[in-house]
Each structure stands twice: as C-alpha cells, then as structure tokens.
Structure 1
C-alpha cells in the first residue's frame, strides 16, 4: 500500500460523510459559495521522524472545521454535539486494508467555528531498489577467494 495525503484525506472525508450524510465536506479552504452547515478538512504542520532502516514516521496534523449558521440560536449546542460524536468516530480512520489511530485529539470553539484537531502517525518506508541475493554461496560481496 502506498500511503498518500490524498488517501488520508479521502478516508477522513468518508468517515464524515458516513456519519453526517447531509452535511457537505470540503478539502479546499475557499469558503465562498458554500452552504452551512459544512465541514472543512485541513492539514496542519507535519513532520517526520527517522526510524530503523528505510522507514520513517509521518506525524500529520489534521484540523476539521465545522461551520454552522451564525444566526442559529443553538449553534453552541450543535458544536458540542458534533465534537462529542467526532470523539467516537475518529478514534480510528479506516485506510485501505487497516485502520490508522488518531492521537492528541482535541477540540475548541473559536469565533463560531468548531476546530476538531488530531494527529495521525503513519510509519512508511522508502522503496528498496537493491537487487536481491539469490543465495549466500553466490554472493561474493567484493571479496576475492584466492587473493595474493
């Protein structure tokens, strides 16, 4: 499996659409022409950590923004309800053959927007293009038997 940010984004949007089928989800920060309520999915700063061999850990920050109608009198209660449900449905994100755990999940309400933020940690590896050794006996490794 090749892990990509696009694949992760599709998986997150799939979880949101499954649990909120009537609320549109956008991955583009352009807010013009969108109707509320809606979700926006953004990537936050990410980093990588080296691991043994050709592997490394990608720490990917995600911010899901929920927007509701500002004139709605129960906007705060709506956001609390959405945050509570996201706590349950986003513990794991289904991703092709398995699931990715989310870490450091937190939410806050800022200027009538719910920001649900978390980190995904995925261990990935570089492709190995070195030729395989057919047998230990045939491998010379640059050592000559009868060198004088």
Structure 2
C-alpha cells in the first residue's frame, strides 16, 4: 500500500526530526518574512529557533509509471545575535544536522535527504537539503462499465 507524501507531511517530518535533535528549541514551519522579523524583534523570547522554509527550484518530472519529485528545503537556525560563541554554536548545530539528517520519517515513510550543505550568513545558520522521491499521483476514479438489461419484444404487424 502506498504512503501519502506531500509538502505538509515533509515539513511535519522535518519538524519532528529537529524537535528530537534539539529539545526545547522553537521550530517554525514555513513562516512569512514578517513573522521571522517579529521573532527577531521580540527581545529573543523565541531564540534559539529553527525556520523550515521551502526553497525555490523544486521540480517534478514524469517517468514511465511514476513521477520524480524533488522538493528543496532550507533550515534556518537563529540564536542570540553577536555573542562570542555564536559561530561555535552554529558549527555544532551544523555538525549534528550533518550526522543526523540523512533520513527522517514523514507520514510513516522514510525520506532520504541529499546535497546537504550549510553556510553561515547574516548571523544565521542556513542548512540546505534536497529531497528526491518517486511518487505516484492519485488516480482518478474511472467510471466502470455498468450492466444494462435489455428486454426484447417481437411485435408482429398484423
């Protein structure tokens, strides 16, 4: 039986994986830029935190009997700005992600990640991942042939 996988399940699975790796750290799924700015301006009450953001460039290509789907994600880790240990903290978080994020579970399916890479820019850790999945689109209900009973009569003109 096929397992349903969609963007919401992937984000939920990533959030669950991050919550297990970083207990007590806030995780925000697909936030708007305005929300991200409000988190930063709120005197650090949500820091440290992760944002799970879909990256542009996701693709889906038709295969013979299934589709090849490649959604892209960026995990942004923020912590208190301008501390003496911020760079070391980013490196520790990146190392734990490198060691632990090869797979995660989404709606019961094991999802493998590819092309994991990270950078430290604008006082944040940016951890990029690609996901490559073969998927089948739901099939439309096809109206099946129905039975028709034909009653034949012979009329004689008479």
- Say what the alpha-carbon RMSD is for the aligned residues: 1.7
What does residue range 1-148 of structure 1 map to in structure 2 within 5 Å?
Answer: 1-27=3-29, 28-29=31-32, 30-31=35-36, 32-33=38-39, 35-45=46-56, 46-53=58-65, 55-128=66-139, 129-130=141-142
- Rounded to whole Å, the distance in 1 between the matches of 2:123 and 2:39 is 18
Q: Which runs of 5+ in 1 are unaligned?
A: 134-148
User: TM-score, normalising length from structure 1?
Assistant: 0.82
User: TM-score, normalising length from structure 2?
Assistant: 0.77
Distance apart, 1:57 and its partner CA: 1.1
User: Which is higher, the Rg of structure 1 or of structure 2?
Assistant: 2
- Rounded to whole Å, the distance in 2 between the matches of 1:125 and 1:115 is 31
Q: Which runs of 5+ in 2 are unaligned?
A: 41-45, 146-158
When the two structures are aligned, how many residues end up with a matched partner? Answer: 132
